[in-house]
Structure 1
């Protein structure tokens, strides 16, 4: 009896121990599965957020193009849709679009493909007519019924919307542009409206076919998708992101995130096998090992722990290892950066860098050589990084790094040393190519700040030096931020100043060398604020050129001079020609000639009284196109002056190729008149110009000695303080009298 009780007692203890063990294992399995599921969903979320960023940038790119076109087409007086369409035809040839066109307020469209359409009922047209950017959903072309998407932008005449410019893309063509490939092509994406209508379908062979609504497609794919459809529908109604698991021949995940475009969502679809394989393997192995109880209990637990760690590492490698360099992926870098910023007790810099004109390496030497260059940069980053510093390739040829430093001087030295070593150690296989890397650096102020913001600041600094061959890095610091704010404030003030006519014209008289009589003038711009203070040109002209505002300012000054010349002519004054500066931005806009001719005709001023000055740098950059432009301007009666000759890229061939009427010697030449070499140069330039039938105007003449020297050489006209300083129009008018 005692033996029987003892057996039952042992059996009970065994059952109890086994139950405890099984309970512990089941508890562990549940936690493990939840953790892996959470990690999978986290990957889906991160991938979806990256897709949203990419798609938003693509759409923003479309709007930037339309905004540039709109700015070019906006006019002061008399918008002509036929002329605008002629301009659009040039743009349409450079881009893959179905059509571009202009919609007038009555809805009538003028298109580059000459279709007779009325688009007055289109929602995008209504939005742009109210001054907004417009973008359609999936539409059917009124011409041939094709599926299309349309982008639109208002055009302004005298500050009011006078028409709408639009770009039509075939869904089939734009689909490739807006479809984001994920998980090495195994995943794919859709863009849908809030009601489930598909805006952009996928070209992936495993996607839904023949459906215009995602809910209908899910329902038709399998009856088991009903619950998933309801869950997704509820999330989209509440404008929330989320995910579902559904069946379409195989099980798949779908993660949906809102875009910053209308009420659209991006859906990222990944076969569950891609995401679940590692998890399922771990879980299968775990369940199998749960059957082994008793004697191998300890080894069983140890094996599970090791297996879990191994598989987690494999999953981490998939998610956190860059496929080109073998180092950190950007996702891993961002996660590590957050941790290390919290732990760092020294100054920290967030750095972005990229290879200037990296596409040339791929085009000249092949993509594998390009990848070798990326691996080389990553290796150099590793060599030059201190302990606990991290670095990674973000995308394409763009890298990010987190560096520690004690002083700004030390950081400057490290960057210069890195740049020098990068070029010095560049592989011999492509030693004919000069590797140039540029940096943007953000000095971290608050280590709890969002990582994305840090990257944005560093990128802003990096963008500020793009195109500057002599600068390879820039800092985003308080000075940089202050400059940005000041530039933005000054830019806004300039726009308001133009509206309020605060810009005024000063005249720099030109005198004949032989007769000392007034024979012309140069129009200069001054900014007189409403409070009476004056902003000098050296402060606002460079910013106006940088921001493109200079073209509006040039046209304003030209129009003001036209009006004043008209007044003087009607008053019977002996008018002299006035030259007005023409920035090189006008050379990229073929319509500027018609605009300037129209201003002269409106003022009823003969073109011989209006001259145009081009800087030497503008001529150098656009010689072929400029020849045609100058010929057209000559045909209209304008004389062309080359300003600041000798300060840029002067060449004899340029003087031979470009039909210039007047060559303006820069003040730097005149200042060297008493130097033997300087005298020879001035003499040669004047003789050459005269041989080419060009007149010569000397700028910056201030002394009697300079005047006499130039007179003896046969210089035609003089401009400078020797005769007169720049003066307001009232004072110049007295000179005319």
Structure 2
């Protein structure tokens, strides 16, 4: 019996292992070969009328769409690889070959194509690619991938003008382990070290093994060089944990050299050489430590770390004291409130102002414990003043960004107020513009909770940040404090006009206006003439 050409083509399509299919010009399937049952676990009949795109794994939509665009532009046959969804819940890699079908007048009428299963080929390709870019012993990136990643990281650091650090990590005395316990034990140690190091680094960083006993870490987006020192200390602490091998328990240490972009090198080779040199300095000093390539940075890092360690002890020992600066009613020149100013009663250096420790406290999170002590101390003082008969006591307390964003900030204030039996209205919380705007909706919520308790809220350092009338209208605050930089030079110069405008704007919004940094009678007179409410030195 003779068969038509269409029947012969369909018979051929059903005899091959590939899955042939056709769609109309909108990508709706009009025919699917029976082999679809084997490839994706679907009956051909249930696929007819469905969009071909619906079978493609979502992550590969772009690949499938680009294939269709290429065909329509060139009116030719194109091939691309993507994944199809299977009924079992997994996916299968296919090589899709597609050809555009046109009418005699050249109009697109549909597509004809095939899927060839390349899952095993892809698995082998991925395995080979992984072997080409990863260390076979630890599965970490190898030197080749490390250099690629470092090149990209350096380009990003240049573009964003950020710092980047390279930590060159050498395992101390690994050769002794190899010589006494064998290379299998040495390899076991390296695998364990690789896992421990990897557990300490951020997803955005790259940890690689260069070979032998050497690892390297790319740490990007650094705010301070000292952050890298903390990373080095964390890595060393993790490595020092007892390491149990099949032979015995071992204690391993590392020597870490640190180089920083751009100070210690601007290219892959120079930065790596600087980190390597710093590591060898550390080795010469006995190992089991870290060393920064730049000696001046090394000294600053040591000083900063010393402050951090002393701050830990200061929080534990409650070494912080609170001094109070008066706030005066401008019209009456009478004290109406005080601002709580924290000082560190250092055991050897005496009383230190915040410039010596506040930045480190904020970055390390120690500001939370320190700030809680200040709030408790201020409430204790308020209680004492109230007991002495001061009925108008108001204490203003500054909260840093980290304190304000702490999930327990309201709870801390509630605890201090209840513990010392003071009305919440004796407290005024000061927040800078920048802190308030980091998360405007949360700030509004926290301010509303504070005001519902009777706590006053003030915007501190107004004018040096965003200074937007729009956000001031949204924030439920009681007062704004003009930054001291604007009081300089008044009543003369441009600052005078700015201060006058801010006072008028604050009053228009129903806010109390506080001027900070008042030192001279002329400034006081100017503020009185412009109806400023409160001032402080």
Q: Which residue number corresponds to residue 699 of structure 1?
A: 516
Q: Which of 574, 578, 582 matches 2:399?
A: 582
Q: Is the 1:663–1:694 Cα contact (8 Å) retained in structure 2?
A: yes
Q: Is the 2:137–2:191 Cα contact (8 Å) retained in structure 1?
A: no
Pairing of 1:488-507 with structure 2 (within 5 A): 488-507=305-324
1:355-397 deviation per Cα after TM superposition (whole angstroms, max 9, x unaligned): 99xxxxxxxxxxxxxxxxxxxxxxxxxxxxxxxxxxxxxxxxx
Pairing of 1:130-529 with structure 2 (within 5 A): 184=129, 242=184, 259=192, 415=266, 442=275, 444=277, 476-529=293-346
Q: Deviation at 1:185? A: 6.0
Q: Which of 437, 440, 450 matches 1:623?
A: 440
Q: Is the 1:352–1:441 Cα contact (8 Å) retained in structure 2?
A: no
Q: Take 1:624 and 1:490, find their aligned partners in 2: how far apart are those partners?
A: 35
Q: Is the 2:258–2:275 Cα contact (8 Å) retained in structure 1?
A: no
User: Structure 1: which 5+ runs fail to align?
Assistant: 1-180, 192-234, 245-253, 267-328, 339-349, 357-399, 420-437, 462-475, 721-737
Q: Which residue number corresponds to residue 727 of structure 1?
A: none
Q: Deviation at 1:182? A: 7.5
Q: Which residue number corresponds to residue 94 of structure 2?
A: none
Alignment of 1:651 onto 2:468: yes
Q: Take 1:495 and 1:255, find their aligned partners in 2: how far apart are those partners?
A: 37
Q: Take 1:584 and 1:442, find their aligned partners in 2: how far apart are those partners?
A: 34
User: Structure 2: which 5+ runs fail to align?
Assistant: 1-125, 139-176, 199-206, 223-256
Alignment of 1:558 onto 2:500: no
1:523–1:703 distance in 2 versus 1, CA, 3 Å: same
Q: Take 2:209 and 2:193, find their aligned partners in 1: how far apart are those partners?
A: 23
Q: Which residue number corresponds to residue 67 of structure 1?
A: none
Q: Deviation at 1:446? A: 7.4
Q: Deviation at 1:605? A: 0.1
Q: Deviation at 1:635? A: 1.1
Q: Take 1:517 and 1:591, find their aligned partners in 2: how far apart are those partners?
A: 35
The number of residues matched between the two structures is: 323
Q: Take 1:590 and 1:532, find their aligned partners in 2: how far apart are those partners?
A: 34
Q: Deviation at 1:457? A: 6.6
Q: Take 1:491 and 1:401, find their aligned partners in 2: how far apart are those partners?
A: 20
- The higher-RCO structure (CA 8 Å, 6+ apart) is 2
- Any idea what SS the aligned residue of 1:444 has? helix
Q: Is the 1:351–1:402 Cα contact (8 Å) retained in structure 2?
A: no
- Any idea what SS the aligned residue of 1:514 has? coil
Q: Deviation at 1:239? A: 9.2
Q: Which of 492, 495, 502 matches 1:678?
A: 495
Q: Which of 604, 607, 610 matches 2:421?
A: 604
Q: Which of 373, 376, 390 matches 1:573?
A: 390
Q: Deviation at 1:589? A: 2.4
Q: Deviation at 1:677? A: 2.3
Q: Which of 535, 539, 544 matches 2:352?
A: 535
1:187-236 deviation per Cα after TM superposition (whole angstroms, max 9, x unaligned): 99999xxxxxxxxxxxxxxxxxxxxxxxxxxxxxxxxxxxxxxxxxxx9x
Q: Take 2:447 and 2:409, find their aligned partners in 1: how far apart are those partners?
A: 12
Q: Deviation at 1:676? A: 3.8
Alignment of 1:613 onto 2:408: no
1:189–1:445 distance in 2 versus 1, CA, 3 Å: closer
Q: Is the 1:562–1:600 Cα contact (8 Å) retained in structure 2?
A: yes
1:656–1:449 distance in 2 versus 1, CA, 3 Å: same
Q: Is the 2:460–2:481 Cα contact (8 Å) retained in structure 1?
A: yes
Q: Deviation at 1:412? A: 6.5
Q: Which residue number corresponds to residue 273 of structure 1?
A: none
Pairing of 1:50-69 with structure 2 (within 5 A): none
Which has a greater percent of strand?
Answer: 2
1:443–1:661 distance in 2 versus 1, CA, 3 Å: farther
Q: Which residue number corresponds to residue 226 of structure 2?
A: none
Q: Judge which range, 676-685 or 525-534, deviates more.
A: 525-534
1:520–1:678 distance in 2 versus 1, CA, 3 Å: same
Q: Is the 2:340–2:378 Cα contact (8 Å) retained in structure 1?
A: yes
Which has a greater percent of helix?
Answer: 1
